[in-house]
Amino acid sequence: MTASTPIAAPGSASAATGTVFRRLADGKALPIAIVVAAIVLIWYGFTVYLNAPWQIGLYQRADTEWTAADLVRDTMAQERPVLPAPHQVLAEMWKTTVEVRPTSNRSLLNHAWITLSSTLLGFAIGTTLGVLLAVGIVHNRAMDKSVMPWVIASQTIPILAVAPMIIVVLNAIGLSGLLPKALISTYLSFFPVVVGMVKGFRSPEAIQLDLMRTYNSSRTQTFFKLRWPSALPFLFTSMKVAVAISLVGAIVGELPTGAVAGLGARLLAGSYYGQTIQIWAALFMAAALAASLVALVGLGQRLVMARMGARP
């Protein structure tokens, strides 16, 4: 950066803006902003395109004269659009986050929190379970041969189908509240962790395992000193997927618990009443939540990797 300054001396005005631009481009803000702007633009295009047939139908039924400008304006202001315009979604989010008490059941923040808590609980249980299973699979041949196929099979069970039954059964044995929902998150999130960690625990090079063998290192020692550190990159990649799936699980799990509260209930109620704008607002909240969770895992990854002396 400093080295480039003397070279840029002639025409310093443009060079200055150049570096400012570069500094922004090197950061994340500008690229994200540009990509977002592009997406928003395309989105507006689609809003008009997708909502137009309905709007034209309205005009015809009401026998009104209309111009293209009218059409563009009206397609972005429908009450139940096929695709709501970005500003409609934002307005709805503003209304349901800022303008209401966070504790009110109309507050999106409240619903997000409910979903988040079961996501986190489920994710924590799921990751732990996944790691433990992977440990078992890597260390016990019987488990390797027999459990893995059934872990895979378990994932092909459509969770939404069993979720109500799980909830009913758990209710029958006295479990209710956060845990049943969290268990559905667990069910979805342990799988990527198992798959990733089995791979990770098996990723040490032959020579490294040989070295541990020459020390007659116990399995536990080999595990903590070699397998675990080698598997960490896999752990974090898996956890990114797992935390995102966990959220999906929590949302799915909210349906059979009676669609009472949480982003899932909100989505459902929205679709039940055809409130597209409300669906999209909830959808965005969910996505924002997921993005922050994934980013958080990513941050953890960077910190841990830096502590492990990874090459920058």
Residues 216-255 that bind another protein (CB under 8 A): 216-218, 221, 225-226, 229, 232-234, 237, 240-241, 244-245, 247-248, 251-252, 255
- Residues touching another protein: how many (CB under 8 A)? 125
Q: How far is the CB of 158 from another protein (least distance, A)?
A: 4
Question: What is the H or E stretch that residue 169 is in?
Answer: helix 159-172
Spatial neighbors of 120 by CB under 8 A, at least 6 apart, are 246
DSSP assignment of 208-275, as one string? HHHHHHHTT--HHHHIIIIIHHHHHHHHHHHHHHHHHHHHHHHHHHHTTTTS-SSHHHHHHHHHHTT-
| Sites for another protein among residues 101-140 (CB under 8 A) | 104-107, 111
Q: How far is the CB of 298 from another protein (least distance, A)?
A: 8
Q: Letter for the amino acid at 193? A: V
| Sites for another protein among residues 141-160 (CB under 8 A) | 141-142, 144-150, 152-160
Fill in the per-residue mask, 191 to 220: x = in contact with another protein (CB under 8 A), - = not in contact: xx--xx--x--xxxxxxxxxxxxxxxxx--
Contact by Cβ (8 Å): 245, 119: no
What is the four-CA torsion angle of 155, 159, 163, 164, rounded to 10 degrees? -140
CA dihedral for 272, 278, 284, 289, sign (positive or negative): negative
Q: How far is the CB of 150 from another protein (least distance, A)?
A: 6
Q: How far is the CB of 291 from another protein (least distance, A)?
A: 4
Give the phi and the psi of residue 255 in degrees, each rounded to 5.
-65, -55
Q: Does 98 bind another protein (CB under 8 A)?
A: no
Question: What is the H or E stretch that residue 125 is in?
Answer: helix 108-139
Q: How far is the CB of 186 from another protein (least distance, A)?
A: 15
| Sites for another protein among residues 278-297 (CB under 8 A) | 278-279, 282-283, 286-291, 293-295
| Sites for another protein among residues 12-51 (CB under 8 A) | 25, 27-28, 30-36, 39, 50
Q: How far is the CB of 213 from another protein (least distance, A)?
A: 6
